Amino acid sequence: MIAPQLRGRRALFATVAAVAVVAVAAYLILRDGREPAERTERADPVATPPPSSLPSTPESSPGATVANQEEIGDGNSPDPTTQTPTPVSTQSLCPFLPSGSDPGSPQDLADETADVAIDTIPVLSVFAAAMHATGFDAQLRKASGVTILAPTDDAFAADIPEDELEILLIKRHGDLQKLLESHVIGKKRLLADLVGAGGVSPLSGDRVSFTASGGGVRVSDDANVICSDLGAENASIHVIDSVLGRIQLTEPQEELG
């Protein structure tokens, strides 16, 4: 027989076990009932980006971007489809001349007499010095109309030795004036007229020919016209790159040019 004390302990253990089972079952029931809500409360919300404050625009293609840039422009670029070509002036062949209305520019020369115009053109200082040394400036100033084939300073330097030119400027004024007269025609003529005529006689009497060559004009096979139709009040000036005519130098020398 089981002792009473042992039966009492077993009953106590059975009661405790039953209570434990009931407690566990109750916990499970309560947990299962609360879990969906708890999971919902604890779950991280799905991040939703805030709406942009600016309206979205589709990405443009490279071709569309270029077109937009061309349409915007800077407001100053000329439209190539509406441009009208500017007529080319013979004065554009004179890069050594001032521009606009500055002294020595083609516009400034128009109201000056021949002698003043020669003085003003930057590359004709030797021709101007010879003109003043001989008194030929007064003749050019009073002329009703002349054409001047004016050699540049470089042309004088290449064709006449410096010491010989100095002698001409100081004391051989008669010979120097004859040399100048080889470059002056007694009528105001445009270069196109001279080429059309083929040749004319300057004040010295020696005939000078004009021939169109390679887009330019050749003068008596000695010089090239490098700047044409500079219009003074009483003269038409054509700048050339070589000295024309003949002059007896102290040292034997071939024909100038």
Distance, CA of 125 to CA of 32 (rounded, Å): 115
Tens digit of each residue's pLDDT, the chain (257 residues): 444 544 555 555 455 455 454 444 544 444 454 444 444 444 444 444 444 333 333 343 333 333 333 332 333 333 333 332 222 333 345 877 887 878 778 888 999 999 999 999 989 999 999 999 999 999 999 999 999 999 999 999 999 999 999 999 999 999 999 999 999 999 999 999 999 999 999 999 989 999 998 889 999 988 999 999 999 999 999 999 999 988 887 765 545 55
Spatial strand order in the sheet of 184-185: 184-185, 146-151, 235-240, 223-231, 216-219, 208-213, 199-200
Distance, CA of 147 to CA of 140 (rounded, Å): 10
Residue 235: in which H helix or E strand, if any?
A: strand 235-240
0.75 surpassed by pTM: no
Q: Beta strand pairing status for 223-231 and 216-219?
A: antiparallel
Distance, CA of 162 to CA of 85 (rounded, Å): 46
